[in-house]
Chains A and B, each alone.
Chain A
Amino acid sequence: MTDLSMTPPSQVPTMDVRVGFMTLLKKECKRFWSVLGQTVTAPVITALLYLLVFAQAMQGRVSVYPGVSYTEFLIPGLVMMTVIQNAFANTSSSLTQSKMMGNLVFLLMAPIGSLEWFGAYVCAALARAGLVAMVMLAVTAPFVHLPLREPLALLAIFITSAGSLAVLGLIAGIVATKFDHLAAFTNFFITPLSFLSGVFYSVHSLPKFWFNASHFNPFFYMIDGFRYGFFGAADVPIAQSLLWSTAFFVIVSTVCLRMLITGYKLRH
């Protein structure tokens, strides 16, 4: 025997699934934590610039809900828009980068199942989205007081919304074979839908056609439901927002898990 003796063939332990899941989750969190400037600071600054410009330009001209200033109205929407974009970016960029760099083989060869994989990536994206949201709220707190009327609804809509976008990011990461594909997914799908979801306005101020069209945009319910969590008032009932965001989460999760289980574009 040498000091390089391995496990005897008859004593190979069964895989501890929890350790595998926690390792992948921690690794994904460390990944975004190691580049906080890109993953948290930059999106927060971008959102604050939107806030500065729109609040200056629109304050006093637009009244959305009684007793709620435009700046107060704007902040929850901007926070949720940033949450949506960052939850998507976390999973999609991590997976695509691993594919491009080739280091995804370490994960593909490991005894980690599709559910652990899915759960770890989504939870890490929730952690980043939550961090971004908290930093934004903390930075704006000295200037604007936001009530927190429905915290449970806020939490539920945050989890289903950020979760949905994290899963969409996984799907995009699986499908993309180059960063160009990911950029196209972001520029032609995520960004337009998040900008046209009522972040900067109430959908009641839109012409009838766009008012109706907004109701087919799942991001609208995410933004509106999140706003409800603060003000206890929204464009549509909270139950409808929760139903839409939960249904969206279930649909994209089913598609994503199917891809992971079958090894679509991951295992040849």
Chain B
Amino acid sequence: MTASTQTAIRIAGVKKSFGKVQALKGVDFEIRQGEYFGLLGPNGAGKSTLINTIAGLIRADAGQISVLGHDTVTDWRTARRSIGVVPQELVFDPFFKVVDMLRIQAGYYGCGKEVWPWIDHLLDRLDLNDKRNAMMRALSGGMKRRVLIAQALVHKPPVVILDEPTAGVDVELRRALWSFTRELHAGGTTVVLTTHYLDEAQALCERIAILDHGEVQLIESTEQILARHPFRFLTLKLPQGIELPQSLRERVVGEKNGTLELKLEKDKHPIGGVFEALRKAGIAVEDVRTREPTLEDIFVELTSD
């Protein structure tokens, strides 16, 4: 799905403090309709505060947020009707069965029996069919996570916010959820994802904002972010007891089981130069690999104090 030029979520000058802690220091950015957008940041960066402000759980001290052009304060009913939020915590109501919970959630958004077939479809797509009459408290963590996703989608929102949806889930479910959200996006839905798994953001998101200390540090397409950092990594396995020459030792960023990882700036440190230095030192390399920087490498560089 190609993102349109129209805005799905507009965030303008949003500030929020909790006592003396300034959680958001004037955040400004826009998410386009049909975009798969990643919101990243370390713990305490302000991601959840921002998402909760969009969802109406937190009231901003200053600034404005609109969803599909509907202001979240002055036109809050339509703004909230336009979004579905998957909360980070595994919250549930212990009094109800899965299917009842989904029907109740649809009712909260003004949807009646006409959406029950859609709810059945969601149960089917999220592999919850055999749990439809199970009590919420009896479900495993992974099943509860699926129900939370279904709850966010019962009213067919054009904008979906997933706040760390794969936190604590096993690999199989994680992959299933990736595939599910990709399909959502392919259907034209704007998807906003926060996650601590940076490989997830790299695999799924078209554009990424990195938030740190309550401010947007960077907002670019995933490709641009990956391309803008002019370094690559070289992994060398040396014979036992052999040390690198001093000129290369300062570029080592990791060492494990006799394998060294060197961080090289593409312009300043050509790989050929490394091998030349090794040759001069009379070192025969046992194994060699290169890799391009991942989003995680760039994230660490941007958010490290």
Contacts and interface: CB of A to CB of B under 8 A. Distances in A.
B108 A14 contact: no
Contacts of A267: 56-59
Interface of B: 6, 8, 18, 33, 52, 55-59, 68, 76-78, 80-82, 85, 87, 89, 91-96, 100, 104-112, 121, 125, 151, 153, 155-160, 180, 183-184, 186-189
A134 interface: no
A108 B188 contact: no
Chain A contact residues, majority secondary structure: loop
11 contacts: A6-B184, A9-B82, A9-B158, A13-B81, A15-B110, A17-B110, A20-B110, A103-B92, A105-B91, A106-B93, A112-B108
Interface residues of A, number: 42
Interface of A: 1-9, 12-17, 19-20, 22-24, 26-27, 30-31, 34-35, 98, 101-103, 105-113, 263, 267-268
Given A23-B108, A111-B109, A268-B18, A1 B188 contact: yes
Contacts of B159: 9
Contact of A6 (B76, B108, B153): B153
Contacts of A101: 91-94
Given A15-B77, A30-B95, A267-B58, A106 B189 contact: no
B44 to A, nearest CB: 16
A107 B109 CA distance: 10
Given A4-B183, A9-B33, A111-B80, A15 B109 contact: yes
Given A6-B157, A8-B188, A23-B108, A111 B81 contact: yes
Contact of A7 (B94, B106, B158): B158
A108 B56 contact: yes
Nearest to B184: A4
A110 B8 CA distance: 18
A109 B77 contact: no
Given A19-B111, A103-B93, A112-B108, A268 B82 contact: no
